[in-house]
Amino acid sequence: MARKLSIMDSGWLMMETRETPMHVGGLALFAIPEDAPSDYMESVYRFMVEVDGVCRPFSQKIQSRLPGRLDAAWVEDRNFDIDYHVRHSALPRPGRVRELLALVSRLHAQRLDPGRPLWESYLIEGLEGNRFALYTKMHHSMVDGMAGMHLMQSRMASSADENLPAPWSGEWDKRKKPRKKSVAVAAKAGVLDGAGSVRRGAGQLVDLLRLPKDSNVKTIYRAPKTVLNRRVTGARRFAAQSWSLPRIKAAAKKHNGTVNDIFLAMCGGAMRRYLETLDALPAEPLVAQVPVSLRSADQAEGGGNAITTVQVSLATHIASPLGRLVAIQESMQAVKTRLGEMQKSDIDAYTVMTNMPLSLGQVTGLSGRVSPMFNLVISNVPGPKDTLYFNGAELLASYPVSLVLHGYALNITVVSYKDSLEFGVIGCRDTLPHIQRFLDYFEASLAELE
Amino acid sequence: MARKLSIMDSGWLMMETRETPMHVGGLALFAIPEDAPSDYMESVYRFMVEVDGVCRPFSQKIQSRLPGRLDAAWVEDRNFDIDYHVRHSALPRPGRVRELLALVSRLHAQRLDPGRPLWESYLIEGLEGNRFALYTKMHHSMVDGMAGMHLMQSRMASSADENLPAPWSGEWDKRKKPRKKSVAVAAKAGVLDGAGSVRRGAGQLVDLLRLPKDSNVKTIYRAPKTVLNRRVTGARRFAAQSWSLPRIKAAAKKHNGTVNDIFLAMCGGAMRRYLETLDALPAEPLVAQVPVSLRSADQAEGGGNAITTVQVSLATHIASPLGRLVAIQESMQAVKTRLGEMQKSDIDAYTVMTNMPLSLGQVTGLSGRVSPMFNLVISNVPGPKDTLYFNGAELLASYPVSLVLHGYALNITVVSYKDSLEFGVIGCRDTLPHIQRFLDYFEASLAELE
């Protein structure tokens, strides 16, 4: 029973090249239980591979016979081979987070096999501090953006004693009521409801493009060309770290702002520092492409699409940390005001119109050679507030591992988990040196606002 | 200073697909010295990455602008990134050879980045028995067949105290006299010296093709179609084990044969057992493609090409182990007699003519869909007789990791090291199940002849 891919999802397959694999990942850190036996890691691996069948979407692969994959459909993989998808790895000593990030950087650079279900999960032992890690990658055509991480988290337990099958176990198909609604559907991209919306969406875009380039109100094609906006190779560097949410909230309160304001200011400050070190800071402010949810958290459970992307100034041209924060807040407020004036269907049209050139740029090979639409993608996604468990082990941290594109060599994504904001920075290893320095720069930029 | 690739070497680039990466590898096992400090593995890794420049061929990448890579040339990689090429890995506990083979199977399935020098080396810690491993892969366009392993071994020390730089260190370029002559040149394929040779080579081929299919005298296109001769996927399984050379020599003496006779009989017996288990044993004998050196070991030091490939019956249709050995010996003897009657230039022509269809089959996509030229490639290559050392650690074993092609899903290669014959079996994970069983089947087939 084949299920055809949407044009948007097929697009992720079409955009994939050796240099730009189109999968997203999650890196989760767990505590080894105190009473764990010496063969504990082997038992976790067995828990992961000794499953009673495999559920969707983990069981399905792409079937396509036409060039360009226009007929791509999901079909069950009859030769499903769990040992291929679930892998047991280890870190060399001393097993610091540094060694973990080096391994994840390598694993994230490898393309998924297009002839199999488009996911792999790595159980990684040898992490110091009595911890272990789980790195899972899924193709973007299988799960949108953060949906993969949400899918994994929705299949973790809420206590150490609760027994749940592995996230891909066939037992999930047998459960009549899914424990939590999968977010996969909710994160799908918009569908236009009529030609009128397209006209109004286009009108919004034309209005915004008429604004001067130094205005705080941003849209696509208002970004300076920077080192971030070059062609990429297939190699990656991943950096990750947790920041205290109460700390960020205190800074937000001090400056009459939101957590997201402080987060964007941390990004703006870090980008300014990074580009200054490379002697590559442009005179005009960097523009971030930011996915925005249009609904409250309560509404999100209902499913359906309510996400758009907006362009926000990171005010990297302003030296003063406080001045930068204010400019970022103004830019974000201008976006919100404008979105508030638009109808839902017009926003959908605007979303599609501002994202279409991105896909076209990838497929035509122009991206990274012409002016960038924006400088980088920055996402801030709410995550679980309560402690989660995987096969009895407590989830300590959960970092998103996103993707980069030609012309967009860096991505910063954060998710919240309990009292932390979990930063994941992914970049092209060859285009951008010293990506791990962003972690220091985030910290310095937060400290400036405290 | 660009150095153009030969047509043969360009061929390896042209034949490469995601399903058939064209690199070869070596897996070396070492003893951790008894007095090693706790950070010994980190010091080995530093020895590997903290090099004073990088020597050829490790420093060179492919430059090519034309489609089909007809203009491919080796050029120095100005952005050479040693941390990319030399990697530090570890095995999950208990760190058996089983876990090592699983890791090497995965690593060998990944294509090398065509935008960089075409090699990677993995230092692998966590191997039980106080050992560590080194897995190195190089593209076939960079080093022919076994030449990569010979290159690595030629840069190992002959005592624990001898200090040599890492195999890729730039210091090798500064040494005026190379310590041992690289075998890379010696293993290059033949060049025809005239049209007469082509005619005589073709005549030999036509003569052989006229022989009945059940004759012990084999050439290309006399092989039955088997499960080995299907299209392959990109996934691999690698199995490896050492056998005692004195044991094999004793069996050879008992049957008035050579070590190579017993080796081929081990392969024939294992293939018969394997195909019987799959209920897929053909009525006609399997035909192995076997590279043969045309010179004595003394002459080999002189360099230049003297290798051809011959087709030998594995006599898998004969149930009796002794009858199988005799048939294999007769088939090999017939090949030797025929080669002895041919001139060197005619052999070169015959070699090129019998190997050309192999490359064509890969590039046209016909291989694995039409009748196979032979059933599998089996190589037996002499290796070092004395103990080697790497950064003070004794080399315990050294297994070749070869490649598979569409239509040729299995390869058995052995090298000798001291008193051992080191077997490496590489196969397509999806085409051929249970490749690790070959190790048991080799043992059973040897025991039958003792």
- Across-strand partners of B134? B28, B123
Catalogue the E-assigned strands of A58-190: 60-63, 73-76, 86-90, 119-127, 131-139
Q: What is the pLDDT of residues A111-165, one digit of tens each?
A: 999 999 999 999 999 999 999 999 999 998 888 766 777 888 889 999 999 989 9
> Which SS3 state, helix, strand or coil, does residue A239 take?
strand
Q: How far apart are CA A368 and CA A230, in angstroms?
A: 4
* pLDDT for the residue numbered B204: 65
Cβ contact B92–A41 (<8 Å): yes
Which residues of chain B are within 8 Å of residue A89 when distances are taken between CB atoms? 90, 92, 103
For chain A, positions 67-86, list CB contacts with chain B under 8 A.
79, 81, 84
Contacts with B131 (C-beta within 8 Å, 6 or more apart), sequence order: B29, B30, B31, B32, B396
Catalytic one of B85, B139, B140, B317: B140
Contacts with A430 (C-beta within 8 Å, 6 or more apart), sequence order: A232, A233, A235, B79, B81
Q: What is the pLDDT of residues B135-144, one digit of tens each?
A: 999 998 888 7
* pLDDT for the residue numbered B208: 67
CATH 3.30.559.30 positions along chain A are 214-384+399-447
Pairing, β A3-4 against β B217-218:
unpaired
Cβ contact A93–B41 (<8 Å): yes
Which residues of chain B are within 8 Å of residue A92 when distances are taken between CB atoms? 41-42, 45, 88-90, 123, 125-126
Q: What is the pLDDT of residues B245-281, one digit of tens each?
A: 999 999 999 999 999 999 999 999 999 999 999 999 9
For chain B, positions 120-139, list CB contacts with chain A under 8 A.
123, 125-126
Best of B32, B39, B79, B93 to disrupt the A interface by mutation (most A CBs within 10 Å)? B93
Cis link prior to B57 (omega < 30° from 0)?
yes
Best of A16, A100, A430 to disrupt the B interface by mutation (most B CBs within 10 Å)? A430
* pLDDT above 90 (res A66): no
Cis link prior to B291 (omega < 30° from 0)?
no
Q: Which residue has the higher pLDDT, A427 or A309?
A: A427
CATH 3.30.559.30 positions along chain B are 195-385+398-447
* pLDDT for the residue numbered B245: 97
Catalogue the E-assigned strands of B84-130: 86-90, 119-127
Min distance A407 CA to chain B CA atoms (Å): 18
Catalogue the E-assigned strands of A304-361: 307-313
Quickly list DSSP for B20-68. S--EEEEEEEEEPPTT--TTHHHHHHHHHHS-SSB-TTTTEEEE--SGG
Best of A88, A121, A431 to disrupt the B interface by mutation (most B CBs within 10 Å)? A88
Chain A residue nearest residue B43, CA to CA? A93
Chain A residue nearest residue B125, CA to CA? A92
Pairing, β B23-31 against β B131-139:
antiparallel
Q: How far apart are CA A262 and CA A325, in angstroms?
A: 7
Which residues of chain B are within 8 Å of residue A110 when distances are taken between CB atoms? 110
Asked whether B108 and A127 are in contact (CB, 8 A), the reply is: no
Nearest-by-Cβ selection for A88 from B42, B92, B234: B92
Residue A168's nearest CA partner among A56, A29, A27 is: A56
**Sign of the C-alpha dihedral computed for residues A81, A85, A86 and A89 taken in this order:** positive
> Which SS3 state, helix, strand or coil, does residue A308 take?
strand
Catalytic: B140? yes
Q: How far apart are CA A321 and CA A442, in angstroms?
A: 12
For chain B, positions 412-441, list CB contacts with chain A under 8 A.
429-430
Task: Determine how many CB atoms are found less than 10 A away from the CB of residue A251.
Answer: 21
How many Cβ pairs within 8 Å bridge chains A and B?
73
Catalytic one of A139, A140, A150, A317: A140
- Across-strand partners of B287? B313
Q: For residue A221, name the pLDDT band (cuts at 50, 70, 90).
A: low
Average confidence score pLDDT of chain A: 86
Task: Determine how many CB atoms are found less than 10 A away from the CB of residue B271.
Answer: 27
Which residues of chain A are within 8 Å of residue B106 when distances are taken between CB atoms? 87
Asked whether A63 and A73 are in contact (CB, 8 A), the reply is: yes
Amino acid at B132: F
Chain A residue nearest residue B80, CA to CA? A430
Cβ contact A113–B81 (<8 Å): no
* pLDDT for the residue numbered B190: 29
Check residue B138 and report its DSSP letter: E
Cβ contact B93–A125 (<8 Å): yes
Per-residue CA distances from B83 to A17, A235, B121 (Å)? 23, 12, 10
Cβ contact B89–A84 (<8 Å): no
* pLDDT for the residue numbered A201: 60
CATH fold of B3-174: Chloramphenicol Acetyltransferase (3.30.559)
Edge-first strand order for the sheet with B410-417 is B217-218, B307-313, B287-293, B376-381, B410-417, B420-428, B236-244
Min distance A399 CA to chain B CA atoms (Å): 22
Q: How far apart are CA A364 and CA A359, in angstroms?
A: 9
* Cβ-based burial of B1 (10 A; exposed 0-12, middle 13-18, buried ≥19): exposed
> What is B195-385+398-447's CATH superfamily?
Nonribosomal peptide synthetase, condensation domain (3.30.559.30)
Residue A354's nearest CA partner among A140, A196, A142, A208 is: A208
Cβ contact A235–B113 (<8 Å): yes
Catalogue the E-assigned strands of A297-339: 307-313
* pLDDT for the residue numbered B292: 79
Cβ contact B115–A233 (<8 Å): yes
Min distance B98 CA to chain A CA atoms (Å): 12
* Most confident of the following: A401-410, B196-205, B331-340: A401-410
> Which SS3 state, helix, strand or coil, does residue B389 take?
strand
Residue with tokens 């009859």: A78
* pLDDT for the residue numbered B207: 67
Task: Determine how many CB atoms are found less than 10 A away from the CB of residue A450.
Answer: 11
Min distance A109 CA to chain B CA atoms (Å): 11
Tokens standing for residue A253? 């309160």
Which residues of chain B are within 8 Å of residue A111 when distances are taken between CB atoms? 18
Which residues of chain B are within 8 Å of residue A103 when distances are taken between CB atoms? 89
- Across-strand partners of B394? B389
* pLDDT above 80 (res A311): yes
Mean pLDDT of B279-298: 81
Best of A48, A91, A99, A107 to disrupt the B interface by mutation (most B CBs within 10 Å)? A91
CATH 3.30.559.10 positions along chain A are 3-174
Min distance A89 CA to chain B CA atoms (Å): 6
Mean pLDDT of A232-241: 97
Catalogue the E-assigned strands of A172-221: 217-218
Q: What is the pLDDT of residues B383-396, one digit of tens each?
A: 999 999 999 999 99
Q: How far apart are CA A136 and CA A127, in angstroms?
A: 17
Amino acid at A442: F
Which residues of chain B are within 8 Å of residue A113 when distances are taken between CB atoms? 18, 233-235
A214-384+399-447 maps to which CATH number? 3.30.559.30
Q: How far apart are CA B85 and CA B168, in angstroms?
A: 10
Edge-first strand order for the sheet with A307-313 is A217-218, A307-313, A287-293, A376-381, A410-417, A420-428, A236-244
* Cβ-based burial of A315 (10 A; exposed 0-12, middle 13-18, buried ≥19): buried
Q: For residue A291, name the pLDDT band (cuts at 50, 70, 90).
A: confident
Task: Determine how many CB atoms are found less than 10 A away from the CB of residue A203.
Answer: 13
* pLDDT above 80 (res B432): yes
* pLDDT for the residue numbered B301: 40
* pLDDT above 80 (res B198): no
Which residues of chain B are within 8 Å of residue A90 when distances are taken between CB atoms? 89-93, 126
Mean pLDDT of A342-356: 69
> Which SS3 state, helix, strand or coil, does residue B293 take?
strand
ipTM summary value? 0.86
* pLDDT above 80 (res B381): yes
Give the angle subtended at the CA of A257 by the CAs of A251 and A261, to the nearest 5°: 85
